[in-house]
Structure 1
C-alpha cells in the first residue's frame, strides 16, 4: 500500500478557482440530495482563540476527515491561521490513499463555495464588493468573486487602517481592480451589492440597516455557535440559506442569536444552497431581496476538493508517494 502526500504548493497548482467553483456547486447539490453524509464538526477550544476541529464525512467516491487547527494570532506571525490535514480513504477497499495539506484547501474551497453561492443568489449586475476583513479569506474571496461577477470596485474595512491599506495595496497589484480602504464598516457596506464578512469578530460588525435592497451577503467568518459577524436585523431582513441546514441550526452564531431573540422563527432559514443550485428551491425572488449565504464550511467541500486533487495529482505525477 502507498499513501500520496500532497503539499500546499501542489494544492495551489491544481485547485484553481476555475476548477473549484464548479466542484463546490456539485458538492453542495450532492449534499442536499443526500448523496453525501457528514456529522457535525467537533471543536475543542484551547484558549486565546485557538481551536482544534475534527470534521468527518463520506462522499460518493471517498470518505475521510479533516483535522484542522485555527490559530488567529498566526496573522501576526505571517503564517496561515488554518493548518491541518485532510485524510482520504478509498470507497471500495477502505484503505487510506492520501494525506493533503488542509490549510490551502480550506482557503480555496471556502472562497469558491461563496462564489458559487453568489453566482446563484446575487443580481446578475452586482459589481461593487465590500470586504469586512483583510486576512487570507478576504484575499481569496476577492479573487473568487471576480470569477462570477464583473467587479468594478472592491471596498475594504478592518479594525487596523494600516493593515487594511497594506491589503488594498497588495491586492490592487494582483487584480486589475480598484481597492478602496474605508474608515468604517458602514462606509464599506452602504451602496455595495456584494458583501463578504470574513473577519474574526465575536460581535456584529455588519448591521442590517446599512445593507441596500438587492444586496447579497456571504457570512463566512464565524464558524461556530457564539461569535457572530452580523446583527439580528440582517438575519431578519434576509432570504437566508445555509451551506448545511443542520449545521447552521446547531452552530450558526447569527442564526442562533436571531432565533433566541425572537426576531425570526424556525422557518426563516429557507434551506440549503445546494437546493437552490439544483433548482429545487427558489433563491432570489425579486431585485429588491437581500440574500444571505451562511457558510460554516463543511467537510464534503474538503472531500470533493481532496478527491479531485488526488486524481489529478496521480494523473500528473505530482505529490509524494509514501509506503504505508
Structure 2
C-alpha cells in the first residue's frame, strides 16, 4: 500500500488532468453515492464530529474519506479539521493507498469548480474575484485559470495580512493578483466570483453582480452557513455539484427554499447532467450563473484514482523523483 503526502498530492494532480478526470467521473456516474454522514463524537462538553464519505466504481476502485472536526483544537495550536483518504482495489478489496485528505480535498474541490466553470462561465472571462483567504483560496484561482483566460485576480478578505499573503502566493504561481478593500466594487468588476468561506452572513450581494457573471460558491457547507444573499440566488441560474448534497447541506440553497423564495426544482442541473449534456449550462453572455458545491465523494475517488494510476503528466515526474513511504 502506498502512502501519499500532501506535497505529493499537489505535485501529481495538475488541474487540467484533474478537471478531465472529474468530468469523466461525473459523466459516467450511474450510481448515486451516499450523502456525507456526520457523527457527534465530542467529550467533556466540547463538540466534535467524525464525517465519512464513501464512493465506489464497481470492479475498479472504492474508497472512503475520514474527516474529524474538533473546533477546540485552536487552544492546542492545532487545526480544527483533519482527514485521511483510504483507497481499495475494486476487484479484491485490498488497500491500495493512504492519502493526505486535506490536500486531496483542496485539489478536487477547486477542480470541481473549474469543471463547472467550463459549462457556466463565459469563455472570455479574464477577471476573477477571490473572496476568502483560507487554504482553498490558494487553489481556486489556479484551477479556474486552467480553463479560462484569467488575466487578473482580485483578492478580498477580512484579514488584510492574510489577503496580502494570498496575493503574494498567487503572484508566485504566475497569476497577476492584488488585494482589494471594496468588495462591492470588486463584485461589479469580476467575470467570475469565487467564494470559499465559512460565513453565516451573505458576502455576495445580488445587486452588485453585473450581467454575465459566474458565481462559484465552495465554502458554507452547512444549512446555517451562506455566502450569497437571496437576490444573488434569485437573479442567477442555479447549478450544484449534486442535487442530494445541495438539498441536504447547502445553506445558500436551503435558506431561500425555507423562506419560500425558491423551489428545489429551480436548480437547473447538477454536474452529472451537465457533463452528459442532459441539461444545458450557460445560455447567453448576459446570464448570471451560480454554482454551489458542498463536496461529493465521487470527486475524492476520481482524484485518488488519478493519483494512484499516475495518469497525470506531472505525476510521472513526481513518482520518479520522490520515493513514497509504504504502509
How far does the alpha carbon of each residue in 1:194-224 deviate from its partner, in whole angstroms, 9 at most, with x for none? 0001112122111111111111111101122
Q: Which runs of 5+ in 2 are unaligned?
A: none
Mapped to 2, the partners of 1:19 and 1:233 lie a distance apart of 35
Mapped to 2, the partners of 1:245 and 1:156 lie a distance apart of 30
Mapped to 1, the partners of 2:71 and 2:229 lie a distance apart of 22
The question of 1:83 aligning with 2:78 is answered: no
**What secondary structure does 1:320 align onto?**
coil
* Range with bigger deviation, 164-173 or 102-111: 164-173
Mapped to 2, the partners of 1:74 and 1:9 lie a distance apart of 23
Residues 1:169 and 1:232: Cα distance change in structure 2 (over 3 Å): same
The question of 1:110 aligning with 2:115 is answered: no
Aligned to 2:144: 145
Aligned to 1:320: 325
* Deviation for aligned residue 1:50: 6.3
Mapped to 1, the partners of 2:281 and 2:302 lie a distance apart of 24
The question of 1:306 aligning with 2:301 is answered: no
* Deviation for aligned residue 1:48: 8.3
Aligned to 2:155: 156
Mapped to 1, the partners of 2:103 and 2:93 lie a distance apart of 25
* Deviation for aligned residue 1:83: 2.8
* Deviation for aligned residue 1:73: 8.7
* Deviation for aligned residue 1:62: 1.1
* Deviation for aligned residue 1:148: 1.0
Mapped to 2, the partners of 1:196 and 1:242 lie a distance apart of 14
Mapped to 1, the partners of 2:46 and 2:285 lie a distance apart of 43
**What secondary structure does 1:222 align onto?**
coil
* Deviation for aligned residue 1:75: 9.3
Aligned to 1:134: 133
The question of 1:42 aligning with 2:37 is answered: yes
User: Does the 8 A contact of 1:24 with 1:116 survive in 2?
Assistant: yes
User: Does the 8 A contact of 2:70 with 2:80 survive in 1?
Assistant: yes
Mapped to 1, the partners of 2:28 and 2:73 lie a distance apart of 34
User: Does the 8 A contact of 2:126 with 2:191 survive in 1?
Assistant: yes
Mapped to 1, the partners of 2:298 and 2:124 lie a distance apart of 30
**What secondary structure does 1:56 align onto?**
strand
* Deviation for aligned residue 1:181: 1.6
Mapped to 1, the partners of 2:26 and 2:74 lie a distance apart of 30
The question of 1:271 aligning with 2:293 is answered: no
Residues 1:155 and 1:176: Cα distance change in structure 2 (over 3 Å): closer
Residues 1:158 and 1:115: Cα distance change in structure 2 (over 3 Å): same
Q: Which runs of 5+ in 1 are unaligned?
A: none
Mapped to 2, the partners of 1:208 and 1:264 lie a distance apart of 15
Mapped to 2, the partners of 1:59 and 1:94 lie a distance apart of 12
Aligned to 1:281: 279
User: Does the 8 A contact of 2:138 with 2:169 survive in 1?
Assistant: no
**What secondary structure does 1:87 align onto?**
strand
* 1:50-65 equivalent positions in 2, closer than 5 A: 51-60=49-58, 61-65=60-64
RMSD over aligned CA atoms reads 2.6
Aligned to 2:200: 202
Mapped to 2, the partners of 1:187 and 1:131 lie a distance apart of 13
- For residue 236 of structure 2, the aligned residue among 238, 257, 264 is 238
How far does the alpha carbon of each residue in 1:136-193 deviate from its partner, in whole angstroms, 9 at most, with x for none? 111101111111111121111111123212321332233241x222213212211211
Residues 1:72 and 1:137: Cα distance change in structure 2 (over 3 Å): farther
Aligned to 1:14: 12
**What secondary structure does 2:154 align onto?**
strand
* Deviation for aligned residue 1:133: 0.4
